[in-house]
A and B are shown apart, each in its own frame.
Chain A
Amino acid sequence: MTDEIKHEWPLFEVFVRAKRGLNHVHVGSLRAADHEMALHHARDLYTRRNEGVSIWVVRSDDVAASGPDRKDAFFAPSGDKVYRHPTYYSIPDSVPHI
């Protein structure tokens, strides 16, 4: 294999919480030498249009992810538990505040 060039800086994942948002949203990734630089870069790359109030950056290799091979075991079992949803329950319309 030809010698593969590797970028000098590690990869960081970026999460931004919008002004009217309630939670941080994953917006992408970028390269930075350290966390401070990553925050600055994230601010410049992902908040130019007055979007953000808060930024999180995490080194990509620190992100632990549920792999697709575990998708069934992780996520399917919640599919049949319809009793967790409010619409499952019949309550007469005449009952207020519920």
Chain B
Amino acid sequence: MTGTVAGEEQQQMITGEQVFADTIERDQRVEPRDWMPEAYRKTMIRQIAQHAHSEIIGMQPEGEWITRAPSLRRKAILLAKVQDEAGHGLYLYSAAETLGADRGDLTRRLIEGRQKYSSIFNYPTLTFADVGVIGWLVDGAAICNQVPLCRSSYGPYARAMIRICKEESFHQRQGYELLITMMGGTAAQREMAQDAVNRWWWPSLMMFGPPDADSPNSAQSMAWKIKRHSNDELRQRFVDMSVPQAEALGVTLPDPRLRWNDDRAHYDFGTPDFAELTRVISGAGPCNDERIARRRSADEDGAWVREAAAAHAARRQEAGA
């Protein structure tokens, strides 16, 4: 019989542990007020936050082409897409906040380099064809990663992922459609498209992370059903889906080792340069500084605006509005 407060707390924790383990076991959702291991909470905050940061940073490489888009229709499409990315970041920050994180704090961690974002966004967008290829390959890879996360064990994250996936399908299609149009256009446009594919193919494969053998944290994430498939599994899936899409476009993927393997019933492909992935993640990519600098200046330049709005709201509340 529980006689002390400490005893009751301990009882709750034991019950909580059981409930948590059962929830994971039965493929159900952990919700914000449920008991969870502290390490699970920390991992979840970090993963969701880094995903959110990726969406926000991801606005930059394509965002810089909005004002230069070569048709009004493409301009509207690109603006809507980049706007969606801001929205995705917000859905994810909102999910992280259900775990007790604070968006202002997460933003600071991003700016100070204590939390990361997807390394793919450290590459520059050199031509408008990059917009098409990012939609096709980068968003395509993101969808491969994200659809399984819709069954991730943490409820608010899974629900944010469902909403994001619904919106993401337009992102991939608009990019692919742009490439179809360009490949059916002038010689200059076809060259532009092929050049963009040459530059983005390998970085897209790296979006799935290092090979499974070099992924130490994966085991715990898989056990907690935060992560549902391994890096290599998803990378293979992405290659299998993209090859026929490339063929339909008439572009060549820059991998001489790419070939269908009858025995495996998958495409064999070359090994990405994972040393490059490490270098780019750790800050030596072409655009790392630029991406963070832009985020920092928006945050700093906006401080007086946010403070003014808060001051105004406080004053109105005092006045008994």
Contact = CB atoms under 8 A, between A and B. Distances in A.
Given A5-B108, A33-B313, A65-B33, A45 B306 contact: no
A68 interface: yes
Nearest to B108: A5
Given A28-B91, A30-B90, A65-B33, A6 B105 contact: yes
Contacts, number: 65
Given A28-B160, A29-B97, A68 B31 contact: yes
B310 interface: yes
A77 interface: no
A7 B33 contact: no
B313 A4 contact: no
Given A8-B310, A68-B34, A68-B35, A30 B94 contact: yes
Interface in B151-196: 156, 159-160, 163, 167
Contacts of A27: 163
A5 B34 contact: no
Given A45-B90, A67-B33, A69-B12, A5 B104 contact: yes
B105 A4 contact: yes
Nearest to B307: A8
Contacts of A88: none
A37 B309 CA distance: 9
Between A28, A34, A69, the greatest number of chain B beta carbons within 10 A of the residue's beta carbon is seen for: A28
Interface string A39-81: 0000001001100000000000000010111000000000000
Interface of A: 4-9, 11, 27-31, 33-34, 37, 45, 48-49, 65, 67-69
A-B interface, 6 closest residue pairs, ranked by CB to CB distance from nearest: A7-B104, A33-B309, A34-B313, A29-B94, A33-B313, A8-B306
